[in-house]
Amino acid sequence: MVLKTIFGVAVLALTWSLSPAEAQAKLQVVSSYPYISSMVSEIAGNQVQNDTLASGAWDPHFIVAKPSLILKLRKADLLIINGAQQEIGWMPPLLRQSRNAKIQAGQPGLLDLSTFVQKIQVPANVSRALGDVHPQGNPHFALDPDNVPRIAQAITQRLCQLDQAQCNGYRQNESRFKQRWQQSAAGWQKRMAPLKGQKVVQYHRLHDYFLQHYGLQSVNTLEPLPGIPPTPQHLNSVIQQVGREKVKWNIRGVYQPAAPSQTLSSKSQAKLLTLPHDVQAVPAAKDMFSLYETLVKGFGV
């Protein structure tokens, strides 16, 4: 009896606090990563409720599936994901637990950005013997400046589909954003031009889209295979390669362990750059423009 009463009281207390202000007019948009929500706010301003699941400073592959994220998904009208399996390690249980029919796979409330861009490094065959490979290609495509307008377009179209009343506004913001983006991209293109052909090693294949766009050549990673932390043998072979091939830059993402990259730069001429991969990965990267600006500035141009 006592047990029953305790349980009853607890359930009552919880039901009592059901929030009445559930019905909100604004479209609730939830994005997996900060770069996506920053683009949502470029296009939709404050016309939508804009929320993010992951923190920009953390490894995008290993976001913790916290219950507070389920809460965000429960209310969502639209969930925008990066896709290409970047969220495979944390999104599926959240999506299931949200019990929100609107945002499940196949519904208009789920937008997978990766289907709107071309992926690089798509493996012809996959096996876990090759490490934690992405069968659909490198998922960090938002770091190619040419992909950003495509993402903007995909977001705009979906917002229009779900919220036709505001469509004109979304489209205006989109074209304004694209214009500004074009101007900024032209500037970055000019500044990055002298770096063309320079060689780079990375901790993980995180900045490949950026490097490829500006003609830099990524010759190796400190991880022997994707998802496998650097081993001393592999690190040694990279150090030798860096010396042999006159590699100029040594790039590390903000969330990756610092020690292996520091060892490499202390034993070679390659300059260590710790670069953001997402909006909010560093304080300076407040939106897509300042993210790219931070990346370009990182190379000293």
Partner 1 sequence: MNTVKKTTITAKKIMTTKGKKLAAGLLVLLSNATLMAPVVAQQVQTDEADETIEMPVEMPVEEPVNDPVNDPMSFLQAPFRQQQFVPDISLILDMGVGAYSLPDAQRQALISPYALQQQVDFHHAVNANTGFNLNYAELTLSAPVDPYLELFSTFHLSAFEFEIEEAYIRSRGLPLNTELVAGKFLSHFGRLNAQHAHFWSFNDKPLVYDHFFGSENLNELGARLSWLAPTDFFLDLGLEVLQGKNSASFGQAGFVSGDQELLAVNLPNLLVATAKTSFDAFDALTVLGGLSYARGGSRFVPPDAAGLVEHNGHFHAAQAAAEPVEALTTYVGATQILGADLSLRWFVDSYRDLSWQSEVLLRQSQGNRYAEGLATPTSFLQLGGYSQVLWRFAQQWRAGVRADVMGLNERREGDLNIASAARLPQTRYSTMVEYLPSEFTRLRLQYNLDATGFDHMAQAAPVHGLFFNLNVVMGAHGAHEF
Using CB under 8 A as the binding rule, whether residue 25 contacts partner 1 is answered as no
Least Å distance, CB 159 to partner 1, is 14
Task: Decide: 156 and 170 in contact? Cβ < 8 Å.
Answer: yes
Tokens of 300: 């000293």
Q: Which of residues 26-85 bind partner 1 (CB under 8 A)?
A: 55, 58-59, 62, 64-68, 70-71, 74
The contact mask relative to partner 1 for 127-156 (x = CB under 8 A, - = no) is -x--xx----x-----------xx--xx--
CA nearest neighbour of 255 among 271, 240, 275: 275
| Alpha-carbon dihedral sign for residues 138, 53, 66, 254 | positive
Residue 55 or 236 having the CB closest to partner 1: 55
Among 28, 32, 38, 98, binds partner 1 (CB under 8 A): 98
Residue 55 or 175 having the CB closest to partner 1: 55
Using CB under 8 A as the binding rule, whether residue 99 contacts partner 1 is answered as yes
Among 184, 227, 241, 271, binds partner 1 (CB under 8 A): 227
User: Which residues lie near partner 1 (CB under 8 A)?
Assistant: 3-4, 6-7, 10-11, 14-15, 17-19, 22, 55, 58-59, 62, 64-68, 70-71, 74, 88-93, 96-101, 104, 106-107, 115-122, 124, 128, 131-132, 137, 149-150, 153-154, 157, 227-229, 255, 257
